[in-house]
Amino acid sequence: MDEKRRKHKEIRKQRKRIDSIDSKIIKLLSGRVVIGKKLGKLKKSKGLRITDRARERDVSENAKAIAKHHDLEPEFVEELFRKIVKYTREKQK
């Protein structure tokens, strides 16, 4: 196999790994939303507000700490989680 084909094969291999990780991320996000919906129903049944800013701050701080531990930019992860929390909150209504 010539050098060019070997490089392309390696690129395809790495892209397949990324695709697999992407699929896992999506499945985990789906699971998070399912749990969030259940939580929304529980909150409603208890007469609680859907939005819990203190909890959202805790989630954000925890995500940033985990990001640092894994050499990711905390600001990137914070923004990502802000979107995830917002989406989940919308699904709870």
Encode 32-43: b = buried (16+ Cβ within 10 Å), e = exposed: ebeebeeebeee
Q: Could you tell me what percent of the chain has a pLDDT over 90?
A: 90
pTM for this prediction:
0.85
Tokens 């996000």, residue? 29
In this prediction, residue 1 carries a pLDDT of 58
Q: Which amino acid is at 91?
A: K
Encode 48-71: b = buried (16+ Cβ within 10 Å), e = exposed: eeeeeeeeeeebbeebbeebeeee
Q: Which amino acid is at 93?
A: K
Number of domains in the chain: 1
pLDDT tens column, 73-91: 999 999 999 999 999 999 9
Please state, in angstroms and rounded to a whole number, the distance separating the CA atoms of residues 4 and 54. Answer: 54
The CATH number of the domain holding residue 17 is 1.20.59.10
Tokens 């531990």, residue? 69
Q: What is the domain range of residue 51?
A: 3-92
